Structure 1
């Protein structure tokens, strides 16, 4: 292609992109100027063409330290003493943190607002660990399992600093997830503005949404995970109409919410580490469904190349890609000449290493792959070959993807319209429904009933309350003998309830307390006040 043709196509593409592209290109130029005039790693990490590392791990230590706001801070002395390069404000003990950092040496600090003044300072450091990042030691630029130990304050020598501790009181707490993970789809974090920020300034996106894993409800282990992965400039909101019709009794929606302008290999490694490997979420072979739209399909497909099938990982039974550029996007070739080139766009070039190696391994043996493609293009200006208005048909139906697809499903709708297409949603939900609940029908019927929404008082721990409120009917059925135990854990529960063995799990201690509640006890609701259907067996 000659230079004039390239220039003409670039002008057309930038005109179609609107003002946002030009604004973001100008912002990147401003970052470069700032870095030249006053070098700072905090500025450097915002440059789209500068390689960045994603670091995550657990904070371990005394849970009492979580009573106050807590954060993880990355400090560097490269350009100035104690430069604050990144901070994760959604931290707590026995949960995960995440940071985005350029290549350099850092000191990571665990801090907590001990005096309650709304700031973190050097007297409130309760943990510290040195970190060196370079591509030789971490070639994929993803460093997981970098755990931090939180101890007593006052034992760490740190130069003075002062950082505002943002209020997180409005965020949902969870027994199982990092603080802020549980959100509704109308949460501002999923807004179009945030999605666009993630495309053009991944570091700024990750300062607001650092963990990439989100859910709509507290974890309930018997439900099958359905993991939704959006495309470029997308968010979990794209799947709202599908989630609204999902059978939430049997399936739990999870979301991989990521900065979509980032390097696709890095994103695929993160997706694998979080959702598939079992290292972050130990699914232990629980059947799992993945639904990916557009570029999300590339991330998922590459992540499955990394999947070892470890027993603590996911058992991926169904994958559904929707309007995905499975052969790359031809316009990405032209994008190489643009004033602002997103790493993700570079990876979508059909000639890129990422696309050429995308099918380097077959899909897992027992995984059924359904390829949804869209062919409705309502654009007044139609350029190039047939498409859904965004992705060419030749890419959606690239031969390697067709070869491994269990079935292909075509819909006369646009690239995003397919996510609201009734026929497409009906088909997708029927595929999800092929992945059956984990337990027998009799056990599942009791699980479907949920638990008892009663005031349990201070004598019950948070985990014990969780079991009563989410599994109460099931525990009652097990204890009464209405249903037979389905695994060794359930057998031990029955034995503990009967007094044959000592209780050693929160479900057991919770049910023994709950079944022994007397009228006028601290719960405010005795067995006698439950409805006839809720009557509980008495501990023998």
Structure 2
């Protein structure tokens, strides 16, 4: 089965696909273009150690029909993949795994912004930030269709949590080579069954450094068995990112980053070593180079193995000639939009980058020098080489390089070298924590579910950063945080925060105090994206509008006239605007603060796009999630 995962054989297989295989691929693509990824987070005001089910359903002819559901092993982020439509989402704990809400079990509903708290899921793209709070409120329980899942779900109880950090057995068939191939040919079907997740092989241990392993095209977690077996498990803990490799790469890269960041928020690890094979190197590099992973002070390492950084000409052949195209092929075409976007940012110099490649290839005179799958020219793309601390070549082919004693020996040497270089007995003692407390004066219809604690270092040579508190904990410790003086503020969606900023001195081994008060306020804001072209419609794939193309964002109504004209701004300037409760726009996100109750017209002008106009209702005592705005290109 390993050979079947080779790019060349997979692409050649297109020419001889039988009718059934073509039908399956076309069906998966059609569903993918017509589907949307709903993401959010499940919160609980009390400890929940039992499975949590998150369910999306739609009403068809008066009946409730299940669209998708996910299982979590604890509260936290979730993902649901649904067809275009209007949905209701709810969650509940399922202590006895009978797929129904029983007396005594917690439940909650998503506060959607549509009729009856529903969610409008467009074709393609993403609906983020759909939060749900589990509670014992009888009114909430009455809104949850208690037995709809038990009556509708096929296949019984899901075995694997899609929550980051879920424990697995590597021998489970769900993580086999056969399933990896299915994730390549039928990514939507794979995602709906397995999701995309970072799995643990052992409970988290703060004494061990996490090593994140990312497989390639048609790969699976079992590809890493040799690496895992030869890794020093007393010093390192392997984490495995399993994802449908046929999906668009930007989406699965950003989802991987979200999973890493959730784990960092939970465990506060200070190091992460990312190792990726083949196309997985693109998935990992995009997240690292574009700052999707990590916080200031985190020690990151990137090792790519046989990655076709320059793309793959055979993918271009597949896109142009195949009657049905695997979505990730579009991203692997040489000079594709994804590859250009990825390399538009260099790997930060703070992240050591090592490039491994193999050169034991085929002797086919029609195929340039290769490792039996990927060309050397692509693996040794000058952009990737220029970023690498060092490049290592091995007499291995594309698959055998993951089972090589020589490769493993060099890999271990790199890990040890990075640790020695960073070794500093006093480093751990130069970090402290922040005790964050908040109090809500007047209660709105929802707690402050969308919260970001913002840090501006007094030392201007250091970067600003944000942390995500648990919104249901009014008193919590956060960290570790590098020692020093900070201005600390909070963005709590739907609330005014006072004081605007707090001075906090984080001492080595100490805990700084940050106490803030919250009062409801009217807010309008959200993220601006661009509508997808028909060929680009795909779940989780969200193209953003370049901030330089946004001309103005205005809000009028009830005697209020506000206008934001974007200008170049640093991250620190954007954070300062939020702390001061001043209207702002940064990158793709905007906020109007302190709005009185009323109805407004939101208008966005952008170069090359049709004007966007939407009526919005503001009530400081009713909180909605940030808006999701998709601009339409001009004809």
Using the size of structure 2 for normalisation, the TM-score is 0.58
Alignment of 1:58-457 (within 5 A): 58-63=42-47, 66-67=49-50, 69-77=51-59, 81-92=63-74, 94-113=75-94, 116=96, 118-120=98-100, 126-131=107-112, 132=119, 141=126, 143=128, 145-152=129-136, 154-155=138-139, 156-158=142-144, 162-164=148-150, 178=163, 181-275=166-260, 277=261, 281=265, 284=268, 286-307=270-291, 311=295, 314-316=298-300, 318-336=301-319, 337-378=321-362, 383-436=366-419
The C-alpha deviation readout for 1:421-461, integer Å capped at 9, x for no partner, is: 111111111111223289878999xxxxxxxxxxxxxxxxx
8 Å CA contact retained: 1:268, 1:302: yes
Residues of 2 paired with 1:206 and 1:82: CA distance? 23
User: Structure 2: how far apart are the matches of 1:169 and 1:339?
Assistant: 34
Distance 2:109 2:298 in 1: 33
User: Residues 358 and 80 from structure 1, CA distance in 2 versus in 1: closer, same or farther, beyond 3 angstroms?
Assistant: farther
**Mapped contact 2:28–2:189 kept (Cα < 8 A):** no
Tell me the residue number matched to 1:488.
509
RMSD: 3.8
Q: Determine if contact 1:374/1:388 at 8 Å carries over to the other structure.
A: yes
Q: 1:142 to 1:431 in 2, by over 3 A?
A: farther
Mapped contact 2:97–2:157 kept (Cα < 8 A) = no
**Contact 2:73/2:166, CA 8 A, preserved across alignment:** no
CA offsets 1:69-96 (integer angstroms, 9 cap, x no match)? 531101123687422111012343x344
Q: Is the 8 A contact 2:164 2:197 kept in 1?
A: no
The Cα of 1:420 is off from its aligned counterpart by 0.7
Distance 1:57 1:151, change over 3 A: same
Structure possessing the higher relative contact order (Cα contacts under 8 Å, 6 or more residues apart) = 2
Report how far residue 383 of structure 1 moved: 4.1
Residues 336-380 of structure 1: CA deviation (Å, up to 9, x unaligned): 13122111111111132101222111212221111111111247x
CA 1:360–1:80: 2 relative to 1, 3 Å: farther
Assess if the C-alpha contact under 8 Å between 2:52 and 2:93 holds in 1: yes
Say whether the 8 Å CA contact 1:272–1:307 is kept in structure 2.
no
1:24 corresponds to which of 21, 24, 40: 21
Alignment partner of 2:149: what SS? strand
Higher strand share: 2
The 3 A distance-change label for structure 1 pair 54 and 113 is closer
Instruction: Return the alpha-carbon distance in structure 1 between the equivalents of residues 352 and 194 of structure 2.
Output: 32
For 1:49 and 1:253, the matched residues in 2 are separated by: 34
In 1, Cα distance between equivalents of 2:205 and 2:302: 22
1:375-396 Cα distance to aligned partner (Å, 9 max, x none): 11247x5642111111111110
Cα distance in 1 for partners of 2:42, 2:204 equals 18
Pair 180,72 (structure 1): closer, same or farther in 2 beyond 3 Å: same
Following superposition, the deviation at residue 140 of structure 1 comes to 6.2
SS state at 1:267 partner: helix
Gaps of 5+ in 2: 1-6, 113-118, 429-506, 512-635
Structure 1 Cα separation of the partners of residues 158 and 126 of structure 2:
32
3-state SS of 2:274 partner: strand
Deviations 1:37-66 (A, max 9, x none): xxxxxxx7xx244453251423323335x5
Give secondary structure in 2 for the equivalent of 1:435.
helix
> TM-score with structure 1 length normalisation?
0.67
Tell me, yes or no, if the aligned pair for 1:328 and 1:350 is still in contact at 8 Å. yes
Task: Describe the shift of the 1:403–1:443 C-alpha distance in structure 2 as closer, same or farther (beyond 3 A).
Answer: closer
Q: Larger helix proportion, structure 1 or 2?
A: 1
Query: CA, structure 1 residues 313+232, in 2 after alignment: closer, same or farther (shift >3 Å)?
Result: farther
Secondary structure of the corresponding residue to residue 427 of structure 1: helix
Q: Can you list the C-alpha shifts for 1:122-152, whole angstroms capped at 9, x where unaligned?
A: 987821114435679xx96373x53311112
Q: How many residues align structurally? A: 413
Relative distance call for 1:23 and 1:391 in structure 2 (3 A) is farther
Q: C-alpha offsets along residues 6-54 of structure 1, whole Å, 9 cap, x if unaligned?
A: xxxx99976546977864322245679xxxxxxxxxxx7xx24445325
